[in-house]
């Protein structure tokens, strides 16, 4: 049974409204699936990032990357993300690039910037990674 959940997330002066469809199930249709394998998040080349520099945020699967997955990207108030979602498969089932771009803030904030990627599989499983890049 689908359950629609609405939310509002706030950080400083930014606001994000959204929704999520959560599938509720019972054991009547068999056991639930497992969460996807853990992932890592590669930020650029892993080095220090300059103000306004554009770097790739690339989810790196730890296990097999076969089933279709959706990736969602989140950042604290600093910088901007080019796209909030990506997927590892096209609509025809071909492999697709999963990275998005993040533009570093100018000037660098006092507090550390935190970036997240959340992976969801087609059975409702979820895994995520959080990283803080080094800013100049």
Q: Within a domain: residue 14?
A: no
Q: What is the pTM of this model?
A: 0.73
Instruction: Return the sign of the alpha-carbon dihedral for residues 37, 92, 81, 49.
Output: positive
Q: Within a domain: residue 11?
A: no
Q: Within a domain: residue 8?
A: no
pLDDT digits (tens, 9 = 90+) for 66-108: 678 899 999 987 789 999 999 988 888 888 999 999 999 998 8
- Domain holding 46, by residue range, is 35-131
pLDDT digits (tens, 9 = 90+) for 4-50: 889 898 888 889 888 878 777 777 766 667 788 889 999 999 999 99
Q: Within a domain: residue 3?
A: no
Q: Within a domain: residue 91?
A: yes
Domain count, the chain: 1
- 18, 4 Cβ separation under 8 angstroms: no
CATH number of the domain encompassing residue 98: 2.60.40.10
Q: Within a domain: residue 1?
A: no
Q: Within a domain: residue 94?
A: yes
Q: Within a domain: residue 53?
A: yes
- 56, 42 Cβ separation under 8 angstroms: yes
């Amino acid at each position: 049974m689908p359950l629609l959940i609405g939310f509002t997330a706030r950080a400083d002066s930014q606001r994000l409204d959204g929704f999520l469809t959560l599938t509720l199930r019972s054991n009547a249709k068999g056991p639930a699936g497992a969460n996807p394998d853990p992932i890592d998040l590669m930020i650029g080349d892993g080095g220090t990032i300059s103000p306004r520099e554009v770097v790739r945020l690339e989810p790196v699967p730890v296990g097999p990357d076969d089933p279709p997955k959706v990736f969602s990207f989140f950042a604290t108030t600093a910088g901007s993300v080019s796209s909030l979602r990506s997927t590892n498969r096209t609509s025809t089932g071909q492999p697709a690039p999963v990275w998005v771009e993040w533009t570093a803030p100018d000037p660098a904030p006092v507090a550390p910037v935190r970036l997240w990627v959340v992976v969801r599989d087609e059975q409702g499983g979820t895994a995520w990674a959080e990283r803080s890049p080094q800013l100049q």
